[in-house]
Amino acid sequence: MIHMMLPAVTAAAIMSLTRRQRKGSYSMSYYLLTETMQPCTEKELLASTEHKYVAVLTAEEWARDREHFDMGIELDIDSMDIHNTKAEVNYDSLTGTFRIPDRTDISGTDYRFAFALDEKGIVFIDGSGRAEEIIGMIRRTKRWRKPSLERFLYDFLEQIVEGDLDVMERYEDELSRIEEAVLKYEQEDLGRVHEIHNDVRKLLVHYEQIIDMAQEFEENENGFFSEENLRYIRLFMNLIVRRRDYAVSIRDFTMQVHDLYHAHLEMKQNRIMTLLTVVTTIFMPLTLIVGWYGMNFRYMPELESPYGYPVVILASLAIVISCLIFFKKKKWL
């Protein structure tokens, strides 16, 4: 919705920025969690004891500077080795990965990056620019009375699924139009329904993985989060469960439209078969008459009678009319 309101030049700039992000043009950035996300230098970040921090590094920068963050882990990141969204508890840190579908093309290439956090802050290892993009949105839209790492994680995870309601509402409207077209026998192809079904199924897998990650955060095995602030993790879990339930309803809607289409297709085929059966039934006695009088017998009294031909015509018409009346009464027509 926001992008639609931007001028053409700004939209083009955003597209160019997104392309640069995917090519990994971002370098390291550091923030302190104050009332807002306050940009800082690496030295200021490492020296701060009052505020939690957020850092965004590429894989190369993380390999070079990870000792500075004193997390006690050897985390080697290759984006192509990231296959899902998950979190893992280590002795003195919590690490994990994100695999986020692109909401503008859910079936396309996913954003992939990793993270490592402890009681002091969180480091994103990301060459795609997606983490920095989410952080930029948080900086523009959020101010905190009580800044904390837990509140940042809530806002970060919320931004990941921020536009999903619009996506699913759009899918629901589209499925409603397809369903109406099916009822009117105007829909001949369910290719779009299959595309929506696949997109929603991918989102459902994504939601389940995020729920698992949030549960790892809530477990708080290493005690990185305060008990008071764990409510943010619970709030997010409630939100993502609602998103998942909505996605399940859309997936069920796609299956309903699919079943409706095939039911109407079967009804259409049954009507055709009924019509063919009626026509065949009507013409069976007529075929018998034609075959009967097509035999080359010399002594057939009807052949000599001047009324033979009209009688056969009237008999044929009587057979057709009586068959039609019978089928109407049986509601086969």
Tell me the per-residue pLDDT of 236-291, one tens digit each, with 9 for 90 and over: 999 999 999 999 999 999 999 988 887 777 777 777 787 777 788 888 888 888 88
Task: Say what the pTM is.
Answer: 0.74
Task: Give domain status of residue 190, yes or no.
Answer: no
| Residue appearing with tokens 């850092």 | 55
Taking the chain, what is the end-to-end CA distance rounded to the nearest angstrom?
A: 52
Q: Phi first, then psi: what are they for 31, rounded to 5°?
A: -140, 145
Q: Is the pLDDT of residue 294 over 60?
A: yes
Torsion of CA 234, 239, 243, 245, to 10 degrees: 60
Residue 192 burial class via C-beta count within 10 angstroms: exposed 0-12, middle 13-18, buried 19 and up: middle
Position 314 confidence tier, pLDDT thresholds 50, 70, 90: confident
Residue bearing tokens 């800044």 = 147
Residue finishing a domain among 92, 122, 145:
145
In a domain, 119, yes or no: yes
Q: CA-to-CA distance for 225 and 217, rounded, in angstroms?
A: 8
Q: What percent of the chain is modeled with pLDDT above 70? A: 87
Report pLDDT digits (tens) over 153-195.
999 999 999 989 999 999 999 999 998 888 887 766 788 999 9
**306 within a domain of the structure (yes/no):** yes
Residue 198 lies in a domain: no
- Domain closes at, from 145, 164, 191: 145
Range of the domain at 303: 273-329
Q: How far apart are CA 217 and CA 89, in angstroms?
A: 9
Residue that the structure tokens 């939100």 belong to: 239
Residue 72 one-letter amino acid: G
- Which CATH number is 141's domain given? 3.30.460.20
- What share of the chain has pLDDT > 90, as a percent? 47
Q: Is 138 helix (H, G, I), strand (E, B) or coil?
A: helix
Characterize the bridge pairing of strands 94-100 and 53-57. Answer: unpaired
Q: Are residues 3 and 140 in the same domain?
A: yes
Number of domains in the chain: 2
- Secondary structure (3-state) at 105: coil
Residue 325 sits in a domain whose CATH number is 1.20.58.340
Helix pair 191-219, 164-183: axis angle to 10 deg: 150
**Same domain membership, residue 138 and residue 1:** yes
Last residue of one domain, picked from the residues 145, 178, 203? 145
Q: Are 141 and 277 members of one domain? A: no
Distance CA 269, CA 252 (A): 26
Report yes or no on 253 lying in a domain: no
DSSP three-state, residue 89 = strand
Of the spans 15-29, 63-77, 143-157, 301-315, which averages the highest pLDDT?
143-157
Q: Which residue has the tokens 């259409």?
A: 268
Under a CB-based contact definition with an 8 Å cutoff, are residues 58 and 127 in contact? Answer: yes
Asked if residue 216 is part of any domain, the answer here is: no
Run of H or E residues at 53: strand 53-57
Helix (H) or strand (E) segment spanning residue 203: helix 191-219
Dist. CA 209–CA 98, nearest whole Å: 9
Give the tens place of pLDDT for each residue, 111-137. Answer: 999 999 999 999 999 988 999 999 999
Residue 32 lies in a domain: yes
Query: Taking a C-beta distance cutoff of 8 angstroms, is the pair 129, 25 a contact?
Result: yes
The answer to the question of residue 254 being in a domain is no
